[in-house]
Amino acid sequence: MPETASVLFVCLGNICRSPLAEAALRHEAEAAGLDIEVDSAGTGSWHIGKGPDPRSCDEARRHGIDISAYRARQVTARDFARFDHIVALDASNLANLRRIAPAGHEARLSLLLDHVPGLEGQDVDDPYYGGPEGFETTWAQVSVAARNLVAELAPKRG
Ligand code: 4NP
């Protein structure tokens, strides 16, 4: 049996972008029959214990997914042992992850859009201070990346 892959998405607050990335990957993995562990966290601590931003809940609901029970948490040093892949939503959060990463950790760090050919190195911009259209853009980006991550993580056959 192949080992179950595990992926942690990390943004700043864990209330806007990374919950949508978590929802998208859960959804795509389920559709593909891929058994995978998925979670999300924030580098910041302001929203610990809070549910996702209502605009993220609305956006997920538009795609048939209920994320209202998700609760924000802060990334910890233990996450670097618990997850094989830690995927930051933007370069600033990736830099913060590198700063707190325990020496010798084996988690693979990447940017979410590194998993979308042609968009490598780009940020998923923070939609927090903008209008609802920003959440649509976030969904479009995280859902394409989630589909590609499923393809990357699916056990190779033959
Ligand atoms: P997120 O968005 O990182 O996508 O969850 C943010 C949510 C809240 C704040 C910043 C970004 N904030 O400063 O409170």
Residue 157: predicted pLDDT: 64
Residues 141 and 21: beta-carbon distance below 8 Å: no
Per the prediction, the chain carries an average pLDDT of: 96
**pLDDT confidence bin for 151, thresholds 50/70/90:** very high
Alpha helices in 3-155 (DSSP H): 17-32, 54-62, 79-82, 91-100, 133-153
Catalytic residue list contains 16: no
**pLDDT confidence bin for 2, thresholds 50/70/90:** low
Residue 158: predicted pLDDT: 57
Question: Given a cut of 60, is residue 1 above it in pLDDT?
Answer: no
Catalytic residue list contains 82: no
Average pLDDT (7-36) is 98
Residue ranges around ligand 1 (CB below 6 Å): 11-17, 42, 46, 126, 128
Question: Given a cut of 80, is residue 112 above it in pLDDT?
Answer: yes
- Return the ligand 1 atom nearest residue 11 CA: 3
Q: Which CATH architecture has domain 5-153?
A: 3-Layer(aba) Sandwich (3.40)
Structural tokens at position 103 = 């020496």
- In Å, the largest CA–CA distance within the chain is 48
Condensed to tens digits (0 to 9), the pLDDT of residues 28-85 reads 999 999 999 999 999 999 999 999 999 999 999 999 999 999 999 999 999 999 999 9
Give CA 70 to chain center in angstroms: 13
Average pLDDT (90-112) is 98
Residue 156: predicted pLDDT: 75
Catalytic residue list contains 17: yes
Entry pTM: 0.97
